Every structure is written in structure tokens, then in C-alpha cells.
Amino acid sequence: MAMSAEEEIPAMAQHYLVCGIEDCKSNCQFYCNPCHQRLCERCRDEHQESPDTKNHQVFPYKQRKPKLPEEICILHPKRNVEILCKECNVPLCAKCIFMKEHTGHQLDDLEEKYAEKVAFCRTEISKIQEYYLSTSQGLKKEIKEDVMAIKNTMDDIRNSIRAEADSLKELVDKVTSDKLEQANKIEETLLKTLNTQEKTYEDYTEYLEKLLRELHSYKSVANFRIVFSDDFENLKIQSIPETTQPVLPVFTAGQFYKDDVSKLLGSVNFPNTKPDNRRIKLMETASTQLKLTGKQTRRDVEKSAMKQTLSLSSSVTKVKEYTVPGVNRVCHISSGNSGRLWASDAIGNLVQTDLQGNPLQQKKTSGGSEGYHTVTQDGDLIYTDRKNKVINRIKQDNTMTEFIKTGDWEPISIHSSHINGDILVGMIKDGEVKVTRYNKTGKEIQNIQRDNKGQELYSEPHYITENINGDICTSDYNKQAVVVVNKSGQHRFSYTGQGSMFIPYGICTDLLGHIIVCNGYPGNNSLHIIDQDGQFLSLLLTPQQGIRPFGVCVDDENNLHVGQFNTTKVTVYKYLQ
């Protein structure tokens, strides 16, 4: 479909804009501003080679200057406006400038000013299309996700309320059963006492009946002499036995009200925290947006361009080597964007140096031979404190705060995402192990613990990192594997080495999605590199090279920094070509 020269191209549609040269039907890519002519690549070359037009300014079509519309002057209908009075801000024709009301006023080329206005509109359109619309649509999607999260949360809360009520009902039934049993025992005791009393009177009645028969026999003439005997003289009726009346139990009703029951059960409340504002990404300047496509930043473009040219080298080249003072070995390295890195050993020494090994600052921590520190997108240091179960943050002005409290869980390893700033933490508690994701403000947003079959994913996640596709890569010492899950927490694969003993330690990824991991098994020390799908690619370092790699990271220049287990040195290699 052909379009007019000045028709704007909507950002999301497909169009075929033809060259404006007669009989040329090629795709228009360029625009001659003086001629206001659409040009394809071939016609542009001919246009710039022609003696008449070789000095014309030819630009990519999207950067063209718009042609000034033919607008008739209100005061001089035979002339078109082509001049702008800057002070009156009105378009004028060549005759208008001699009018009294414009005497001494500054004048501008109307076409140039019109081009500026159109350029401004294009910039604002670009902002709306590339930032405001996408950002607002993203926030709208986030709200829909929040709606689902609220529904799921409230369903869980309702289930918890019902479960708690069922538990209370079970307790009431148990207490009721116990009280009924108590009543049965009281009744049994009272009846037993009354049965004993009844037997007493039965025996006494039997005695009286026997005595009556005996006395009746004494009235017989045959027993004449007996009535004068001593036995008769001693005859005496036994007293009626005394018994006690039972004391009947009484029931004292319990004193309870709805509020009492409510206090026994849990309640639904909002936590005592202010809601976080939704994160609205920062907009690049308009000029940058015009130069970059979509949502890319200049750094993204540079990285993308670099990815097109870089590949894994067949061998590594040693660039330099430097010593980290204040440590007894280099177990973990984390670097930021400032040409500085942090290195730690197995006894809690954490040292910051520049890339020449010059010490900048040193801290004593409770960390050991694990990846317990990381540098955020803002350049802050974050490190775990297993002993106190907190994650500390040290800002660039050297102020330290308790950033995250992990409750009963011991934080072992940590990584700050270069994609979105999330914090990934490997944690352990009473034999349970998980990876927890926090956002940049320290809010817990995800827990990863088991695979789809309910099996534990981790045993001891000593080192953790994130790949360019969002995969979470964990170096698990006890499992003797690199465990990789996607950003949703679904298990993708586990890498267990290449046949020989594999004990993974330090781990990192690069801009090509490679996963680089140190094998710390004595005698088989090496540096493995696998792709983002778990396929083995190569050994970067082998035992024959005399290096025992332990901690590893990649800097902004795509150099590989390898910390050594048996020395205090970091060796820097070029491994991409």
C-alpha cells in the first residue's frame, strides 16, 4: 500500500512506502529535505551524485523534515505564509513583514519552525508509544496479577479460618467427651455407695426377720424354760444402721461470649506497613529514545552488538594477575560497574580492591567459603550474616543497615539480579533448604524449594547467580551439581560434571548466557563452561595449568576473574573472542 509523503507511519503496523521517483516502485528509505522527495537507496545514490542535487541534505525517512503546507495568507490571499514572527508567534507571508505591527520584530523561517514542531510531536509520540503506553499497560497487567494474588491469598485465608475453626471444634468435642466421662464416673461412684447402703439394710432386714421367728418360737409352751434362761435375758434388738444421704453434684455453666471465642481464633488484619508504590521504570531522555529502538538502553544496545561479535575462544589468555591483601585465599568474588570488586576468604575477611589489587576497604564478617556477598545495580554491597540471620547492606557512602531479616532461616549465598535488581538468597533451616527471591526493597516475593514431583531441589546452595534468560543457577556442594531452575522456579536441569568427581564452588554467567563454574575437587580442579541449556562446552582451566579455581566473576570488559583456593591471587583471563 503506497502512502503520501507526509503520512506518518504508525509504530505497530506494517507498511510499504514507495520511492517518489517516477517509475521506481522500490521501498522508500530516505528523504531529501530540500526537494521533499522520497528516495530508495539506489535513487538516493543517484540523487547525491547528480550535479544539481549533490549538496542536498538526505536523511533516513523517519528523520525527514516535513514539507511546509501551502497555507494562504489571511491578509494577502495571493500569497502563502512562509515566515514566522517570533514576537507575535503568527505565520506571515513575504508582504506581511512590511506591515507596521511587525516593524522591528524578529522573524524566523516558518518551514524550520514547523519542522521543529513536527519533530517535537514525533518525540512525544515516541515517548507515548515506547514508554507511557507500555509502562501503563504493564502496570495494568500488574494490577490484574495483584487481583489474582488477592483472590488466591483470600482463599488461603478463608481455608485457614475454616481449618482453625475445625481444630477448635475438635478441641470442644474432646473437652465435652472428657467432661461426660467425668460425669459418668461421678454417677458410678454415687451408685456404688448407695448399693452398699442398700445391702446394709437388706442384711439388717434379714436379721430382724430371723429375730422375729425366734421370738415367736419363745411363745410356745415347749420353750417355757428358755424364756428364763440367760440367753433370753441378754436378748437385745440391734440398732438400725446409720447411712448418709448422697450429695448430688451440680453443673456450673461456663461463662463465655462471642468475643471470648473470637480471641481463641486468629484474625485477618493488614500488616503494619505502608503499601509500596508501584515501580514505574525511568524514561530515558527523548533524544536517546529516538536513537534507540523500543525499550533498549544504550548499554543494552552495546551489549547486544557485542553479543553478535563475541564467541567462546578455544583457549584462555592470561591478561594479568593481582594479589588481594587481607585474605588467606580467594573463595568468592563479586564485582560492580565501578571498576572495583569485593573478595572474601573462608574465615570472614571481606576486602574491596580496585582491578589492580589496591585495597580500598576491609570488613570482618561471619561468612565462610560460600558466595555470601554481591553488588547491586546501584553499586551497594549486600552480604549475608548466617549467625544473626540477617542480610546487611552497605551503601557507597559506607553506611550500613540491616536490609533483610530472614527469621529462622540461615542465609548462605546471595546474588543481586542484573536484570531487575531482585535479590536471590540460598537459605537453610533444620535440614530444609530453599532459594528465596526478594525485590529491591527487601520484600519476599518467591520461594523455590521443591520440583514438580515434590522432591527437594537443593541440599546446600553455597553459590548462586542468575543467567541472562532469568534462570537461577545454584552451585550445590552436597548434591555435587549445578541446579538450574527458570525464573518461575521450575527445575530445568542439573549439571554434574563430565564423568570425574565434580564438587562445584564459585559460579557466574556472562552476556552470552554461558554458565561458568569452578570444580573444587582436589586433583581435578578445573573451570567448566556450559550453555544455558546445560550442555557442556569446554574446560577453561585444567589441573595441568596449576590453578585451583574457587571464586569466579566476569567484569564489564568480559574478562574472567578467577580467585584461587591455595593463594591470595586473582588471575584475569580473556576467554571470549
Question: What digits encode the pLDDT tens for the residues 264-294?
Answer: 888 888 777 778 787 787 765 333 443 444 3
| Residue 576 near residue 512 (C-beta atoms within 8 A) | yes
Scanning the structure block, which residue is given the C-alpha cell 557485542? 306
Nearest one of 424, 525, 540 to 484, comparing CA atoms? 424
Residues comprising the chain, all counted: 577
More confident residue, 235 or 392: 392
**Is residue 50 classed as helix, strand or coil in its secondary structure?**
coil
User: Is CATH 1.10.8 correct for 1-67?
Assistant: no
Q: What is the reported pLDDT for 518?
A: 93
Torsion of CA 14, 20, 23, 24, to 10 degrees: -50
Query: Quick check: pTM over 0.75?
Result: no
Distance from C-alpha of 473 to C-alpha of 494, rounded to nearest angstrom: 9
Please give the sequence-ordered ranges of beta strands (E in DSSP) within 441-525, or none if there are none: 444-448, 461-466, 472-476, 481-485, 491-495, 504-509, 515-519
Lowest-pLDDT range, 5-14, 400-409, 526-535? 5-14
The ranges of the chain annotated as CATH 3.30.160 are 1-67
Residues 6 or more apart in contact with residue 232 via CB below 8 angstroms = 218, 226
Which CATH superfamily groups domain 318-576? TolB, C-terminal domain (2.120.10.30)
The amino acid that residue 247 corresponds to is: V
Taking residues 204-225, report their average pLDDT: 87
Give the C-alpha separation, 364 to 380, whole Å. Answer: 17
pLDDT mean across residues, the chain: 85
Joined grid coordinates for residue 194: 448407695
Task: Locate the DSSP E strands across 295-430.
Answer: 312-323, 332-335, 340-344, 349-354, 359-364, 373-375, 381-385, 390-394, 400-405, 410-416, 423-429
Residue 209 has pLDDT above 90, yes or no: yes
| % residues pLDDT > 90 (the chain) | 37
Contact status, residue 105 vs residue 86, Cβ threshold 8 Å? yes
Q: Give Cα separations from 47 to 17, 43, 51, 343, 475 (angstroms).
A: 18, 6, 9, 61, 61
Strand order in the sheet with 58-60: 37-39, 30-32, 58-60
Report the alpha-carbon distance of residue 554 to residue 537 in Å, rounded: 17
Question: How open is the CA angle 38-62-295, to the nearest 5 degrees?
Answer: 155
Asked whether the CA dihedral 487, 493, 498, 499 is positive or negative, the reply is positive
The three-state secondary structure class of 176 is: helix
Name the segment(s) of the chain with CATH classification 2.120.10.30. Answer: 318-576
Position of cell 543517484? 46
C-beta of residue 463 within 8 angstroms of C-beta of residue 506: yes
Residue 303 confidence (pLDDT): 57
User: Which of 89-98, 121-130, 182-191 has the lowest average pLDDT?
Assistant: 121-130
